[in-house]
Amino acid sequence: MAERRGSGLAARLKAAIGRAEEQRRRELEARRRRAERAREARARLLADLADFGRAVGHFDVAASPGEVSLRYGEGMLRFVAEGDADRVAVRGDGLEGECALAWRDEFGEAGRWVLRQVVDGRALPERLLFDEGLEFLVRTALDVPADPESGERP
């Protein structure tokens, strides 16, 4: 029996398309897993921020799914889940420009949250949230003074 014309080409194309579709499926699955990890990280972050506010003891804390608000005196600082799974908008009194928290997974499996701030169209250097970013936000938006005994400047 004679081989059908083009059957060799058809077999090669079928195999190539199958490999390409499998690669796309793996990439979509990897993106889905990254987005799920980012959503879980964002939920943990919001819970951690509410816990932080309660631990300070002087803040009024309001937490709901997707949002945490801290109040102290006349100041308010709000963290609102927004858009992509790896973003939290930050709004607060005295904050300049646009502020947001972003999940950076290039820090390894654990990942890190960074504070991004854009003022007059210029991105300022990112700050790791739990190194100096949160302190900056609290001191700026809530007008929390520096501890005079620590020797830190406000």
Per residue, the 3-state secondary structure of 103-117, as one string, reads EEHHHCCCCEEEEEE
Burial class (CB in 10 A: 0-12, 13-18, 19+), 23: exposed
CA pair distance 38, 19, nearest whole angstrom: 29
CA pair distance 103, 7, nearest whole angstrom: 50
* Residue 93 located in a structural domain: yes
* 39-68: average pLDDT: 92
Structure tokens at 60: 């009024």
CA pair distance 89, 111, nearest whole angstrom: 18
CA pair distance 62, 78, nearest whole angstrom: 9
- pLDDT band per the 50, 70, 90 thresholds, residue 149: low
At 99-144, the pLDDT tens digits run 999 887 765 555 688 999 999 989 899 999 988 899 999 999 998 8
pTM above 0.85, yes or no: no
* Residue 45 located in a structural domain: yes
* Amino acid 6: pLDDT: 85
* Amino acid 150: pLDDT: 57
Q: Higher confidence at residue 112 or residue 150?
A: 112
* 73-97: average pLDDT: 89
At 59-75, the pLDDT tens digits run 999 999 899 999 999 99
* Residue 2 located in a structural domain: no
* Residue 25 located in a structural domain: no
At 4-40, the pLDDT tens digits run 888 889 999 999 999 999 999 999 998 888 888 888 8
* Amino acid 154: pLDDT: 42
Longest dimension (CA), the chain: 94
Beta carbons within 8 Å of 77's beta carbon, 6+ residues apart? 69, 70, 71, 90, 91, 92, 93, 137, 138, 141, 142
User: Domain containing 114: what range?
Assistant: 39-150
Number of compact structural domains in the chain: 1
* Residue 55 located in a structural domain: yes
- pLDDT band per the 50, 70, 90 thresholds, residue 148: low
* Residue 69 located in a structural domain: yes
Beta carbons within 8 Å of 89's beta carbon, 6+ residues apart? 78, 79, 80, 82, 99, 100
Instruction: Tell me, rounded to whole angstroms, the distance of Cα 28 from its chain centroid.
Output: 20
